């Protein structure tokens, strides 16, 4: 008798506790299916549309963001460098290469919940493709660092993990015509101090 | 031993059911979705600038730092919504969202007619009326059919540097969101 009650309690605790915890984890950390990954960059063309899956819908309802429409643009996120290590705000990174077709793009560093980092007074919070210096072959190099850098410098500040957000505006990348040249810049770690 | 195994199995199946139920119910019970964010800005039928501030009770908004935006919520059950704006900016785009915050339609300055922000959002029934007789005010508007009652629009505009701030600000100020009579 007492053993049966105990077993029922165990089943109940697993059901409610496990179900709630896994749902919490899924809603707060999982971005939904249908991700488009190129190199270190991941985008979600269907997020925030009628076609998004239940996980993406649940997450959107918690964030309360205004997702970009297909005619507006598409955001890509880099969480790791090309060695697979998580991006750290105290480290310096080099973003080198070319970007996919778009009218223009913006690049900024954000925290895990994708809120743009404040790099401090008189420092640019983001770079965009119309102000950037390029090499002879059209490629660009952006240095992401808490310390001042020559060339294209994206300033960061503080400690902890960060996410690099590259948003392509007026781009055909989200469409599935297969005609788009998907070249994304590579993110490499230069150095880390502290 | 068999009983314990069965209890664990029931627990796992129950966890799966709870997981699915919670994920599916979150969009209906969340009080920090896009709609409540918009409602906190102010009245409907009026554009309010989108702020990134960490207001009490809400999560900060994930938004491109090089963009400024304005949002307006409306209810097109009785009358269609007419959205207009005047100005020159390097880039603007507008999205129509339903009450759940899902993006149902978007255009940018190049896909709009003559780079002008002028669109009408109507229900399928109102659309039939609009196609029969188009009001003079909406002669050049982009017509969007949306099967919904409450919704909102967000206009965003690119601010490449500080010097554009004023220009973009006045474009967003000029935006109007009114019922189409």
What is the pLDDT, as a whole number, of residue A178? Answer: 59
Nearest alpha carbon to residue A63 among A78, A77, A47: A47
Is the predicted pLDDT of residue B55 greater than 80, yes or no?
no
Is the CB of residue A84 less than 8 Å from the CB of residue A78?
no
Question: Tens digit of pLDDT for each residue in B15-34?
Answer: 999 999 988 888 888 888 88
What is the pLDDT, as a whole number, of residue B84? Answer: 92
CATH T-level topology, domain B34-179: Immunoglobulin-like (2.60.40)
What's the mean pLDDT in B102-120?
A: 86
What is the pLDDT, as a whole number, of residue A78? Answer: 93
Is the predicted pLDDT of residue B12 greater than 80, yes or no?
yes
Residues of A in contact with B95 (CB under 8 A): 66-69, 72
Is the predicted pLDDT of residue B51 greater than 70, yes or no?
yes
Burial A75-111 (b: 16+ CB within 10 A, else e): bbbbebbeeeeebbbbbbbbbeeebbebbbbbbbbbb
Report the residue from B7, B15, B27 with minimal CB separation from A7: B7
Supply φ then ψ for residue A2, to 5 degrees. Answer: -65, -35
What is the pLDDT, as a whole number, of residue A69? Answer: 87
Residues of A in contact with B110 (CB under 8 A): 103, 170
Is the predicted pLDDT of residue A194 greater than 60, yes or no?
no
Is the CB of residue A159 less than 8 Å from the CB of residue A90?
yes
Extents of the domains making up chain B = 34-179
pLDDT band at A2 (very low <50, low <70, confident <90, very high): confident
Extents of the domains making up chain A = 31-192
Give the percent of chain B with pLDDT over 90. 43
Is the CB of residue A64 less than 8 Å from the CB of residue B33?
yes
Longest dimension (CA), chain A: 81
Is the CB of residue A185 less than 8 Å from the CB of residue A97?
yes
pLDDT band at B54 (very low <50, low <70, confident <90, very high): low
Residues of A in contact with B12 (CB under 8 A): 14-15, 18
What's the mean pLDDT in B102-131?
A: 88
Report the residue from B18, B95, B154 with minimal CB separation from A15: B18
Please enumerate in sequence order all residues whose Cβ is within 8 A of that of B166, keeping only pairs 6 or more positions apart, or say none. none
For domain A31-192, give the CATH number: 2.60.120.600
Q: What is the pTM of this model?
A: 0.87
Please enumerate in sequence order all residues whose Cβ is within 8 A of that of A31, keeping only pairs 6 or more positions apart, or say none. A42, A44, A47, A55, A56, A59
CB < 8 Å from A in window 136-155 of B:
154
Q: How far is CA A169 from CA A91, A164, B10, in A?
A: 28, 16, 49
DSSP 3-state of A44: coil
SS3 content of chain A, % helix, strand, coil (to 5): 20, 30, 50
Q: How far is CA A177 from CA A174, A180, A181, A182, B168, in A?
A: 9, 7, 11, 12, 34
Q: Cβ of B48 under 8 Å from any chain A Cβ?
A: no
Of B167 and A178, which is predicted with more confidence?
B167
Supply φ then ψ for residue B173, to 5 degrees. Answer: -65, -35
The answer to whether B62 contacts A63, with C-beta atoms less than 8 Å apart, is yes
Around Cβ A132, how many Cβ atoms within 10 Å? 16
Question: Tens digit of pLDDT for each residue in B63-99?
Answer: 899 999 999 999 999 999 999 998 888 999 999 999 8
DSSP 3-state of A11: helix
The answer to whether A170 contacts B108, with C-beta atoms less than 8 Å apart, is yes
Of A194 and A137, which is predicted with more confidence?
A137
Distance CA A93, CA A91 (A): 7
DSSP 3-state of A173: coil
Question: Tens digit of pLDDT for each residue in A95-110?
Answer: 999 888 889 999 999 9
- The DSSP symbol for A186 reads E
- CA A130-A135-A139 angle, to 5 degrees, is 70
Is the CB of residue A186 less than 8 Å from the CB of residue A82?
yes
Q: How far is A129 from chain B (nearest CA, A)?
A: 10
Is the CB of residue A179 less than 8 Å from the CB of residue A100?
no
Q: Directed axis angle between helix B2-29 and helix A54-63, to 10°?
A: 50
For residue B3 the two structure tokens come to 């009983």
CB < 8 Å from A in window 105-124 of B:
105-108, 110-111
What's the mean pLDDT in A11-38?
A: 85
- Please write down the HEC assignment for all residues of B77-134: CCCCEEEEECCCCCCEEEEEEECCCCEEEEEECCCCHHHCEEEEEECHHHHHHHHHCC
Q: How far is B112 from chain A (nearest CA, A)?
A: 11
CB < 8 Å from A in window 70-99 of B:
71, 91, 93, 95, 97
């Amino acid at each position: 008798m007492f053993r049966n009650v105990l077993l029922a309690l165990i089943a109940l605790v697993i059901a409610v506790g496990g179900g709630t915890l896994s749902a919490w984890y899924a809603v707060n950390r999982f971005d939904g299916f249908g991700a488009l990954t190129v190199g270190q960059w991941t985008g979600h063309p269907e997020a925030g549309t009628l076609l998004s899956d239940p996980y993406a819908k649940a997450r959107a309802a918690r964030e309360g963001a205004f997702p970009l429409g297909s005619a507006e643009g598409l955001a890509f996120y880099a969480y790791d460098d090309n060695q697979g290590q998580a991006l750290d705000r105290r480290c310096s990174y080099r973003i080198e290469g070319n970007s996919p077709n778009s009218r223009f793009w913006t690049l900024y560093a954000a925290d895990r919940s994708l809120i743009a980092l404040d790099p401090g007074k008189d420092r640019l919070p983001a770079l965009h493709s119309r102000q950037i210096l390029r090499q002879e072959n059209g490629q660009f190099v952006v240095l992401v660092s808490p310390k001042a850098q020559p060339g294209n410098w994206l300033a960061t500040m503080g400690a902890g993990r960060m996410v690099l957000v590259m948003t392509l505006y007026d781009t055909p990348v989200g469409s599935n015509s297969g005609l788009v040249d998907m070249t994304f810049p590579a993110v490499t770690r230069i150095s880390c101090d502290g | 031993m068999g009983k314990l195994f069965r209890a664990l199995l029931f627990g796992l199946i129950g966890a799966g059911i709870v997981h699915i139920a919670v994920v599916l119910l979150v969009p209906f019970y969340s009080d920090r979705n896009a709609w409540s964010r918009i409602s906190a800005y102010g009245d409907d039928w009026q554009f309010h600038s989108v702020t990134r501030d960490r207001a009490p009770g809400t999560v900060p908004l994930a938004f491109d730092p090089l963009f400024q935006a304005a949002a307006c919520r409306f209810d097109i059950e009785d009358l269609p919504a007419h959205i207009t704006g005047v100005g020159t900016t390097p880039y603007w785009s507008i999205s129509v969202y339903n009450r759940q915050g899902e993006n149902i339609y978007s255009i940018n300055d190049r896909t709009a007619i003559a780079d002008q922000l002028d669109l009408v959002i109507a229900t399928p029934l109102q659309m039939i009326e609009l196609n029969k007789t188009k009001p003079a005010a909406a002669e050049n508007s982009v017509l969007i059919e949306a099967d919904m009652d409450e919704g909102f629009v967000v206009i965003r505009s690119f601010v490449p540097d500080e010097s554009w701030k004023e220009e973009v600000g006045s474009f967003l100020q000029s935006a109007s969101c009114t019922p189409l009579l």
